[in-house]
Amino acid sequence: MGEAAIQGSKNAALPVMAASVLVPGVTVLSNCPEISDVSCMCELLRSVGAKVVREGRKLVIDASRISRCHLPEEYVTRMRSSVILAGAMLGRCREVYFQHPGGCVIGDRPIDMHLDALRQLGAVFTQDGDHLAGRAGRLSGARIILKFPSVGATENAVLAAVLAEGTTEIYRCAKEPEIRALCSFLNGAGARVFGGGSGHITVEGVSCLHESRWRVEPDRIVAGTYLIGVLAAGGRARLSGAPARQLTEVLKLAQRMGAQIAADKEGIWVERSGELKSPGALETGVYPEIPTDLQSPLLVALCRAQGKSSLTERIFNGRLAVAEELNRMGAGIEVEGNCARTQGPRLLTGCSVTARELRGGAALVLAGVCAAGYSRVYNRRFIDRGYEDIVRDLKSLGADIGSET
């Protein structure tokens, strides 16, 4: 019961921060979420010579001088999105040195599509163990056909193509809203990118970008997490700023499960007072289907719903590990391959559980809110990678929740 204001989007902010490397001047971002992944990207930008000043949600990045091409291991291995700096660095400096990136432990996360796309634009990579060196005499427009609509590979290809000579056509692009946001930001800085948010992006290379300002859009995954929390726990809440148009499938699903939804440009109202009904068989998919990033929170709602449900993970092959922790709370989830099945309604009981990655960690917190008795969730640092303050937000939605230092 209550209202939560939805923070700026992690997945929109990080690629725009990487893109700032292409601007030989100042980029000002507002509504940039105060999360640890943004701190990590700030450190990466500083490590190549950019000046970064962060005042709350405002970020001022001055990339007039880029003096180094080495991305430090400490930050690269901490966050998967560090890999999108490769395309931007090649675009700006024609050189980049980095390690195979880290990130959430949710299955295999190869970077072959990133490297293939950059190679087609003219980059040459050499590898020594986990260390990669990328160089390009010059980048030239190319025809790139991605084998899968990867979000990061699409972003990398666009970033490297912006200052390349000639025109680049990218096919089978990811259509996630964050790609459209990145392309709009780049165009606001003088790039010529067409088709962002569609399956086919055209980039006409330009010689230089200029200074610009950008407001980061609200985070659809954070909004979806809290909406699913209300669905699972019951109640009535307003999620102000929540981007309803980016959550169409999730809102339809919530309605099928028994929630009432009202949405406008200002946000989303969600109410679930009656029985929570199983939606049957679900699967995650590429945008606009149900996002893989909401799969773990959804498991919590499914085990609370009346009837049999299943949820098949179609994007990452190791993302159902959180079921084991949820089962310690009584979720009764059976996992077979990439499919999780449960029969509800299950009564969850509070206990101590451990987060192992970002979205799974958020799901454990939601489960704790729904469970009888106290729950303690360890490893909050994973959740802080993407949620500004999940405790603050759930408290403002009426949850009995606190944090220990």
Q: By Cβ distance, which residue is nearest to ligand UD1? A: 152
Residue 150, helix vs strand vs coil: coil
| Residue placing its CB nearer to ligand UD1 in the complex, 204 or 289 | 289
Return the residues of window 136-155 that contact ligand UD1 according to CB under 6 A.
148, 150-153
User: Rounded to whole angstroms, what are the CA distances from 342 to 309, 310, 335, 336, 345?
Assistant: 6, 6, 9, 11, 9
Q: Smallest gap, in angstroms, from Cβ of residue 157 to ligand UD1?
A: 11
Which one, of 188, 93, 192, 195, lies nearest residue 141 by Cα?
Answer: 192
Q: Is the alpha carbon torsion for 29, 38, 168, 176 positive or negative?
A: negative
- 18 neighbors 85 (Cβ within 8 angstroms): yes
Q: Smallest gap, in angstroms, from Cβ of residue 198 to ligand UD1?
A: 16
Residue 217, helix vs strand vs coil: coil
Return the residues of window 87-116 that contact ligand UD1 according to CB under 6 A.
108-114
With contacts defined by CB under 6 A, how many residues of the chain interact with ligand UD1? 22
Beta strands across the sheet bearing 267-272: 2-5, 235-240, 267-272, 260-264
| Residue placing its CB nearer to ligand UD1 in the complex, 233 or 366 | 366
Kindly state the tokens that stand for 156: 């990398």
385 binds ligand UD1 (CB under 6 A): no
Q: Smallest gap, in angstroms, from Cβ of residue 106 to ligand UD1?
A: 8
Q: Which of 40, 104, 173, 183 is catalytic?
A: 104
| Residue placing its CB nearer to ligand UD1 in the complex, 221 or 231 | 221
Out of 9, 31, 81, 342, the only residue in the binding site for ligand UD1 (CB under 6 A) is: 81
Pairing of strands 212-215, 26-30: parallel
Q: Smallest gap, in angstroms, from Cβ of residue 359 to ligand UD1?
A: 8
Please give the full DSSP string across 333-376, using - where no structure is assigned: -EEETTEEEEEEPPPPB--EEE--SHHHHHHHHHHHHHSBS--E
Out of 36, 44, 78, 80, the only residue in the binding site for ligand UD1 (CB under 6 A) is: 80
| Residue placing its CB nearer to ligand UD1 in the complex, 151 or 348 | 151
Kindly state the tokens that stand for 263: 């949405």
| Residue placing its CB nearer to ligand UD1 in the complex, 80 or 304 | 80
Q: How many Å apart are CA 28 and CA 293, to the nearest integer?
A: 28
Work out the number of other CB atoms within 10 angstroms of the CB of residue 372. Answer: 11
Kindly state the tokens that stand for 22: 């292409």
Q: Smallest gap, in angstroms, from Cβ of residue 79 to ligand UD1?
A: 8
| Residue 352: strand pairing partners | 376
| Residue placing its CB nearer to ligand UD1 in the complex, 278 or 292 | 292
- 35 neighbors 387 (Cβ within 8 angstroms): yes
Q: What is the dihedral of CA 163, 164, 169, 172, to 10 degrees?
A: -70
Give the per-residue contact string, 354-383, with ligand UD1 (x = CB under 6 A; - = no): ------------------------------
| Residue placing its CB nearer to ligand UD1 in the complex, 3 or 34 | 34
Return the residues of window 300-319 that contact ligand UD1 according to CB under 6 A.
315-316
Kindly state the tokens that stand for 151: 């979000």
| Residue placing its CB nearer to ligand UD1 in the complex, 141 or 152 | 152
Q: Smallest gap, in angstroms, from Cβ of residue 322 to ligand UD1?
A: 14
Q: How many Å apart are CA 119 and CA 316, to the nearest integer?
A: 25
- 99 neighbors 86 (Cβ within 8 angstroms): no
Out of 7, 11, 27, 310, the only residue in the binding site for ligand UD1 (CB under 6 A) is: 11
Return the residues of window 178-217 that contact ligand UD1 according to CB under 6 A.
178
Give the per-residue contact string, 269-298, with ligand UD1 (x = CB under 6 A; - = no): -----------------------xx-----
Q: Smallest gap, in angstroms, from Cβ of residue 223 to ligand UD1?
A: 14
Phi and psi, residue 207, nearest 5°: -85, -25
Q: Smallest gap, in angstroms, from Cβ of residue 212 to ligand UD1?
A: 21
* Catalytic (active site) residue 104: yes
Token pair 């990487």 is found at: 18
Residues within the interface to ligand UD1 (CB under 6 A):
11, 14, 80-81, 108-114, 148, 150-153, 174, 178, 292-293, 315-316
Q: Which positions are catalytic?
A: 104
